[in-house]
Amino acid sequence: MSDLNLLFHGFAVVLTPFNIGLMFLGIVLGVIIGVLPGLGAANGIAILLPLTFTMPPTSAIIMLSCIYWGALFGGAIASILFNIPGEPWSVATTFDGYPLAQKGRAGEALTASFTSSFIGAFVAVLLITFLAPLIARFALQFGPPEFFSVYLLTFCSFVGMGKGSAWKIIVSMMLGFALSAVGIDIVTGQLRLTFGFPSLMKGFDFLIAVIGLFGIGEILLSMEEGLAFHGVPAKINPKVVLETWKKLPHYWLTSLRSCLIGCWMGITPGGATPASFMSYGVAKRMSKDGDKFGKGQIEGVVAPETAAHAAGTAALLPMLALGIPGSPTAAVLLGGLLIWGLQPGPLLFVEQKDFVWGLIASMYLGNLAGLVIVLTCVPLFAAILRVPFSIIAPVIVVICAIGAYTVHNAMLDIWLMMIFGVVGYMFKKLDYPLAPLVLALVLGDRAEDSFRQAMLIAQGDMRIFFSNALVGTITGLGLIMLFWPVVSRGLAKVRGA
């Protein structure tokens, strides 16, 4: 009950003219970022983060999280009208969204996609409202061993649930940890892994890595396609919206299923992209009209969009409750918390009530505002994609360079960004996942701290990670996740034989 009071208090925090203004600004910027290929939510937020250093943290997180919601909405616009996914999580939306648009039903597809995005997000926010405080309260009893085991579980989940080579996931993750270790060791004060370069003393900033890997890397990939956009005109009017809304309740089962998939994939670090594919696949298998999928089914738009938005939103749950982000974008927001001087983790719910509940309240309002904005302004946003890529590409590079420079006011960071960009391009082409790298880079110091503290308590005895039921269960789950690729292959062999 007291949680509801706190939520209302949160609404009071959000409903100041300044915060509402930031919310709308965030949504509009977010949709633009979502529409443009090469500028995604993670690097968009990373670029804008330095501009919020001087803002009150609550206002800053409201603006940045609204960019995230906007980007989740915006990805669908490019997918449906141009057959180009503006964001990786809207790839599955192109399968049925673009055929619908070609048939002249773009308005329907857009309405269905925005509405189901909203529903997915809404369910995930409800989940956060009621579950996050409980988890945080529970996690208050956590000590260093428990925290390290949660980190272990998070990172092992990448291996267990990721597609592709488990070795590559491990390499990418460990590279993130190694880069986070570069610089001064805060415990002993020794310099680590700097190889005599004084400029490496500060270490690698994850914001630079995010801007390079996702921003520059994405531009290079987009260029490979030699982009030329051929779009379908965006027509949307109140009549179409109302008619589509009448049809949508038929797909309640698909929606519900997609919400569940999305929330699950968001909390475990699966992320929005696999959630949208999984949800599309499941909907195709379960639907009566499954064979018509891919030719322009509304249901084929509802499923991935609901799941992507639910997953993207639910990724903030572990970030708020435990200080462990569920997606790269959530990781950037977590980095923001550290920069604004807040200590992420379960204590946030005790010490920073205004911040936490203001953020949760802004999720409700932000998504509602987002729905209204995208429904009314689609043609405007679609017009952005008609600007030729030879103008957009250099402008995005300039924005990335400015963003990288403002993090520390260091010229070296712009060079590092370029290097990360080339690495991002190579890694993407060779299927090395980038999300584990970014998450490890953000969480590296904290994971190492909790490991060291646990080791100090136990005097170097690894058995501390199995010393009680709670920590033992989490560590055990983590190890199962880590060895899941081996286990599942074994199971398949046993069944096949």
Partner 1 sequence: MAKHDSTSQDDGRSIVSMRTMEIAIAAILLAFGATFLYSSYRLGFRWADDGPQSGFFPFYVSLFICVASGATLLQAILSKSAAGPATFVERGQLKQVLKVLIPAGLFVLGIQLIGIYVASAIYIALFMNLLGDYPWKKSVPLAVAISVLFFFMFEVWFQVPLFKGYWNLTGWTGF
Summarize as ranges the residues that interact with partner 1 (CB under 8 A). Answer: 50-51, 165, 167-168, 170-171, 174-175, 177-178, 181, 185, 187-188, 190, 192-193, 195, 216, 219-220, 223-224, 226, 388-391, 393-395, 397-398, 401-402, 405-406, 409, 411, 414-415, 418, 421-422, 425-427, 429-432, 448, 451-452, 455-456, 460
Q: How far is the CB of 220 from partner 1 (least distance, A)?
A: 5
- Please provide the DSSP assignment of 59-106 as one string: HHHHHHHHHHHHHHHHHHHHHHHHS--SSGGGHHHHHHHHHHHHTT-H
CB nearer to partner 1: pick between 15 and 200: 200
Structure tokens that stand for 105 in this block: 């039903």
| Shortest separation between residue 440's beta carbon and partner 1, angstroms | 9
Judge contact between 62 and 26, C-beta under 8 A: yes
Q: Based on CB atoms, which residue is closest to partner 1, 198 or 460?
A: 460
Provide, rounded to whole angstroms, the least separation between the CB of residue 85 and partner 1. Answer: 19
Listed in sequence order, the DSSP H helices in 191-288 are 206-210, 217-224, 238-247, 252-267, 272-286
The H or E element spanning position 191 is: strand 191-192
Q: Which is nearer to partner 1, 192 or 353 (CB)?
A: 192
In this structure, how many other beta carbons lie within 10 angstroms of the beta carbon of residue 224?
A: 10
C-beta of 155 vs 364, nearer to partner 1: 155
**In the complex, what is the shortest distance from the CB of residue 353 to partner 1, in angstroms, rounded to a whole number?**
29
Task: Return the number of the residue (184 or 347) whose C-beta is nearest partner 1.
Answer: 184
Q: Which residues pair with 183 in a beta bridge?
A: 192
Residue with Cβ nearer partner 1 (4 or 51)? 51
* Least separation in angstroms between CB 178 and partner 1: 5
CB 43 within 8 A of CB 215: yes
In whole angstroms, the minimum distance from the beta carbon of 429 to partner 1 comes to 6
Q: Which two tokens stand for residue 232?
A: 């379908």
Neighbouring residues of 52: CB distance < 8 A, sequence distance ≥ 6? 59, 60, 63, 64, 336, 340
Measure the CA–CA gap between 66 and 34, rounded to whole angstroms: 12
> Strand pairing partners for 192?
183
Cβ proximity to partner 1: between 250 and 429 the closer is: 429
Q: Residue 385 Cβ, how far from partner 1 at the closest point, in Å?
A: 15
| 31 in Cβ contact with 381 (< 8 Å) | yes
